Amino acid sequence: MERNDGLIAVHVGAGQHSESLKKKYQKLCRTACEAGSDALKSGKSSLEAAVEATIILEDSPLTNAGFGSNLTMTGQVECDASVMDGSQLLFAAVGAVSGVKNPVVLAKRLCEQQLVKISHGRVPPSILVGPGAHSWAQEMGITTIPEEDLVSSKAKKIYNHYKRKLDQPEIQ
């Protein structure tokens, strides 16, 4: 029987991407795929492999995820992440969460916690958003950081550019 080491595929996100950064995007994707592939080869689950690959993307200022995310209208970083565990038929997601270094790690923990029985017949959540997601991250020991540590100079520059435009009166 032929051995299958799995397949890891990633992308740098939707939207417009600078042609001048194409080689950097390719290198980033290669690094992320290698991290996921190495995880599978070492016996980790597909969920763990996907998370390890995604952490590479979240930590890069080249992507709009984690560090370097686009800023909201109020200049904040709010990240989303979701995961699926096909072996357990589980899904979990976090949304609009600030101050979490790697939102995918938070989504993974939320997914794993669905297997833990909680008191009084309650059902563990599969989706957490906003400040509640941040509080839960802290309770679970997930790495939280000052929100400004997620703001890249590029994201701040883009935010300031569009903020100035929006602050101007609209000409009709």
* pTM as predicted: 0.91
pLDDT at 128: 98
pLDDT at 169: 85
- What residues in the chain have per-residue pLDDT under 70? 1-5
User: Domains of the chain: which residue ranges?
Assistant: 1-65, 69-151
Strand, coil or helix: 168: coil
In degrees, rounded to 5, the angle at the alpha carbon of residue 159 between the alpha carbons of residues 75 and 50 is 80
Instruction: For tokens 């509640």, name the residue.
Output: 132
Residue from 113, 81, 120 nearest 98 by CA = 81
pLDDT at 29: 97
Structure tokens at 45: 């689950």
* Contact of 82 with 91, CB cutoff 8 Å: yes
Strand, coil or helix: 3: coil
pLDDT at 6: 79
pLDDT at 2: 54
pLDDT at 16: 83
For residue 23, the one-letter residue type is K
CA–CA gap between residue 77 and residue 80 (Å, rounded): 10
CA torsion angle 23 28 31 33 (round to 10) = -100
pLDDT at 1: 44
In angstroms, what CA-CA distances link 125 with 97, 110, 136? 15, 7, 11
Q: What are phi and psi of 110, to 5 degrees?
A: -60, -40
pLDDT at 65: 92
Residue from 136, 130, 145 nearest 111 by CA = 136
